[in-house]
Amino acid sequence: MRVVVYGDIHGCMDEFLALRRRIGITKEDREYSVGDILNKGPKSIELLRYFQKSSIQMVRGNHEDKFIRYAWHEEQKGKKNPMKLTPMEQGIYKELTSLDLAYLRSLPFYLTIGMLTIVHAGVLPSTRLESLDKKEAAKVMRVRYVDGMGGFVSLDESDPARHFWWSELYDGRYGYIIYGHQPFLNPRVDRWSFGIDTGAVYGNRLSAILFEDGDPWRYEIVSVSSTRYTKIERPWILPNL
């Protein structure tokens, strides 16, 4: 039995199916996703429906969370929605059914498989996964860098020259964390974590990590090349592409 965890797919349905073929998925495998299957790429709705019909489990990514929050505001009668969607996001939102939204709302913020823990982005020194409130859950879906005190640093304020990558301060209390959110040219392997978002939607690769029998010391990373569907958002994200 293998535990298979996919990095951020972002609508890259063709690459996702190609990756499953390359891995040679069988009925004995247990499949998971770090979230962010939606947005940026061309086939978000197809991926969402595929996941709903499959046995693949996933955690909530910040892009799934954005549609959940937008829908909540839309349901508040007589109040203007303070959130804004891009034209692509508006197209996705219009296709979401009540069943789609119910599925998105059911997604957990983390999953634990033996010594492995899956989150979308990471944890802070203060994070307690077993008792997340709304504010702390938002950080688990969005953290990249932390300051010298271990505090959350927002995306707009993040500076790799001044801040610490969150996993540099992670102490292993939730075992080995597998995460996405931040695209790397190659998967990032630290003492207690594996970053497996390799920027598929930016034209790099879509990656998955495979653990034999869920053993964190027996792993393999498998990737497929990807088409570039969108522009890089920050100069320090995949700077060499």
Question: How many whole angstroms separate alpha carbon 189 and alpha carbon 29?
Answer: 23
Q: For the residues 6-26, what does the mean pLDDT come to?
A: 98
pLDDT at 240 over 70: no
Task: Quote the percentage of the chain above a pLDDT of 90.
Answer: 90
Question: How many whole angstroms separate alpha carbon 17 and alpha carbon 22?
Answer: 9
Per-residue pLDDT tens digits for 83-95: 999 999 999 999 9
CATH architecture of 26-225: 4-Layer Sandwich (3.60)
Q: What is the pTM of this model?
A: 0.95
Per-residue pLDDT tens digits for 211-231: 999 999 999 999 999 999 998
Smallest Cα–Cα separation from 7: which of 100, 96, 104, 121? 121
pLDDT of residue 195: 97
Q: Residue 141: what are its φ and ψ, rounded to 5°?
A: -90, -10
Question: How many whole angstroms separate alpha carbon 192 and alpha carbon 221?
Answer: 16
Residue 161: Cβ-neighbour burial (10 angstroms; 0-12, 13-18, 19+): exposed
Residue 195: Cβ-neighbour burial (10 angstroms; 0-12, 13-18, 19+): buried
Smallest Cα–Cα separation from 198: which of 189, 190, 207? 207
Per-residue pLDDT tens digits for 18-54: 999 999 999 999 999 999 999 999 999 999 999 999 9
Ordered by start, the domain boundaries in the chain are 26-225
Q: For the residues 139-167, what does the mean pLDDT come to?
A: 92
